[in-house]
């Protein structure tokens, strides 16, 4: 009996030890939020930052197996954003700031980021994508946005149903000095991204592990704003970059391939061919009226047909009937005969 009790105690102890070991393992880096993300500043999509926040103290052991990854709108093509190369200082609510190298130039003071992102979030992921915070391959937090349709799944440690979806509906901010923010408390878990995240009301403030804060700067002149889209007009409106699609910047001057338009993110887009027969005049009367045919401006029929031996007067935009060869010869003969008659008359008068 004693042996049996001892055996059971050993089992119980082993289970307790296993659970506590798991707890302590979880305690060193799992209790984390993706608190704030900016996908670009004033349109400069190379300037990005991701701020993590520890939900409790002791989440600072991130040097081994802790990564962040980005996924495209379909949840594919993961990009390693960072594989944390060092541990940080512990503390409930402490931040961990990871940035691209160009981010600091957009903040005041220049951001002292804890880590440099190994890769930025690809620009093509900004309209729809997802970022994961992972420990040894397990997703402990996820932020998805825009038209993302991939998995919203994650561990239940920080989201009770393990579903971080639906995504936050907007794009990841990149054209202003605002960021996507989890405004909940440091200890708060995820409910879902759509309910949990908001765009900062004004300039975003990022904070590093050493508790220093950096305010993202707005624009002062249009030259501060660059969305990388040539056909949008860049403007700075009271510190906020405004990018306005301008169709005129896309017009190729050819009406037969339709009217080109400027898409705010995709740039110039082709137009639709107008119906065959749509005029595409070249301002020349004598070569006929050009018309669009299958998207190409095609020559017209000259209005003054050669068979009628007509001439075309481009200045008058009119056909001019030409004299026949016989008629011209007769006219010349008459003129010559008339001239000779006048000469003879003057000679007679001079002799008289």
Given the rule CB under 5 A, which residues bind Ca ion?
Answer: 159, 161, 163, 192, 227, 229, 232, 234, 252, 254, 257, 282, 284, 287
Residue nearest to Ca ion (CB): 232
Burial degree of 35 (CB within 10 A; 0-12, 13-18, 19+): buried
Cα(225)–Cα(42) distance, integer angstroms: 5
**DSSP conformation letters of 277-299:** T-B---S-STT---EEETTEEE-
Cβ contacts of residue 276 below 8 Å, gap of 6+?
291, 292, 293, 294
* CB nearer to Ca ion: pick between 102 and 287: 287
How many CB atoms are closer than 10 A to CB 332?
A: 10
Smaller CB distance to Ca ion: residue 70 or 229? 229
Q: Which two tokens stand for residue 96?
A: 């961990």
Least distance from Ca ion to the Cβ atom of residue 106, Å:
17
User: Which of 87, 66, 210 lies closest to 139 in space, CA to CA?
Assistant: 66
Nearest CB to Ca ion, comparing residues 163 and 205: 163
Q: In the block, which residue shows the tokens 């991204």?
A: 193
C-beta separation of 60 from 111 below 8 A: no
Which residue lies nearer to Ca ion by CB, 171 or 209? 171
SS (H, E, C) 85-142: CCCCCCCCCCEEEEECCCCHHHEECCCCCCEECCCCCCHHHCCEEEEEEEECCEEEEE
Report the nearest approach of Ca ion to the CB of residue 123 (Å). Answer: 14
Structure token pair of residue 149: 């349709």
Instruction: Compute the least distance from the CB of residue 348 to Ca ion, in Å.
Output: 58
Spatial contact of 237 and 224, defined as CB atoms under 8 Å apart: no
Q: How far is the CB of 83 from Ca ion (least distance, A)?
A: 26
Q: How far is the CB of 160 from Ca ion (least distance, A)?
A: 6
Please give the Cα distance from 280 to 320 (Å, whole number). Answer: 25
Spatial CA neighbour of 306 closest among 322, 289, 290: 322
Nearest approach, Cβ of 198 to Ca ion (angstroms)?
Answer: 17
Q: Output the furthest CA–CA distance in the chain (Å, rounded).
A: 174
Query: Minimum distance between the CB of residue 157 and Ca ion, rounded to whole angstroms?
Result: 12
**Residue 110 beta carbon to Ca ion: minimum distance, rounded to whole angstroms:** 26
Half-sphere CA count of 110, side-chain side, radius 13 A: 5
Both tokens assigned to 337:
């005969």
Nearer to Ca ion, 97 or 312 (CB): 312
By beta-carbon proximity to Ca ion, the closer residue of 112 and 303 is 303
Assess contact for 241 and 42: CB atoms under 8 A: yes
| DSSP letters for 126-139 | SSEEEEEEEETTEE
Cβ closest to Ca ion, residue 68 vs residue 229: 229
Q: Which is nearer to Ca ion, 87 or 192 (CB)?
A: 192
Return d(Cα 111, Cα 118) in angstroms, integer.
Answer: 17
> In the complex with Ca ion, which residue's Cβ is closer, 215 or 280?
280
CB 104 to Ca ion: min, Å: 24
């Amino acid at each position: 009996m004693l042996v049996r009790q001892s055996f059971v105690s050993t089992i119980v102890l082993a289970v307790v030890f296993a659970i506590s070991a798991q707890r302590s393992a979880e305690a060193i880096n799992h209790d984390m939020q993706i608190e704030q993300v900016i996908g670009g500043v004033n349109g400069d999509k190379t300037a990005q930052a991701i701020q993590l926040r520890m939900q409790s103290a002791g989440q600072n052991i991130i040097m081994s197996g802790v990564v962040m990854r980005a996924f495209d709108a379909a949840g594919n093509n993961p990009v390693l954003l960072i594989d944390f190369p060092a541990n940080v200082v512990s503390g409930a609510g402490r931040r961990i700031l990871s940035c691209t190298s160009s981010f600091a130039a957009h903040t005041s003071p220049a951001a002292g980021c804890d880590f440099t992102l190994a890769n930025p979030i690809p620009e093509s992921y900004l309209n729809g994508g997802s970022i994961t915070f992972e420990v040894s391959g397990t997703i402990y937090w996820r932020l998805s946005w825009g038209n993302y349709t991939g998995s919203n799944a994650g561990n239940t440690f920080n989201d009770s149903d393990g579903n971080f979806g639906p995504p936050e509906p907007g794009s990841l901010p990149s054209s202003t000095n605002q960021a996507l923010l989890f405004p909940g408390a440091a200890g708060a878990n995820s409910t879902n991204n759509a309910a949990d995240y908001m765009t900062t009301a004004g300039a975003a403030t990022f904070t590093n592990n050493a508790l220093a804060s950096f305010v993202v700067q707005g624009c002062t002149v249009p030259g501060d704003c660059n969305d990388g889209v040539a056909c949008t007009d860049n403007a700075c409106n009271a510190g906020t970059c405004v990018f306005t699609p301008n169709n005129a910047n896309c017009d190729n001057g050819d009406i037969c391939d339709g009217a080109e338009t400027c898409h705010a993110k995709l740039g110039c887009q082709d137009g639709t061919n107008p119906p065959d027969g749509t005029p595409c005049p070249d301002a020349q009367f004598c070569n006929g009226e050009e018309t669009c045919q299958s998207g190409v401006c095609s020559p017209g029929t000259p209005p003054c047909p050669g068979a009628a031996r007509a001439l075309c007067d481009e200045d008058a935009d009119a056909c001019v009937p030409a004299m026949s060869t016989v008629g011209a010869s007769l006219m010349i003969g008459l003129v010559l005969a008339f001239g000779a008659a006048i000469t003879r008359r003057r000679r007679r008068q001079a002799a008289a």
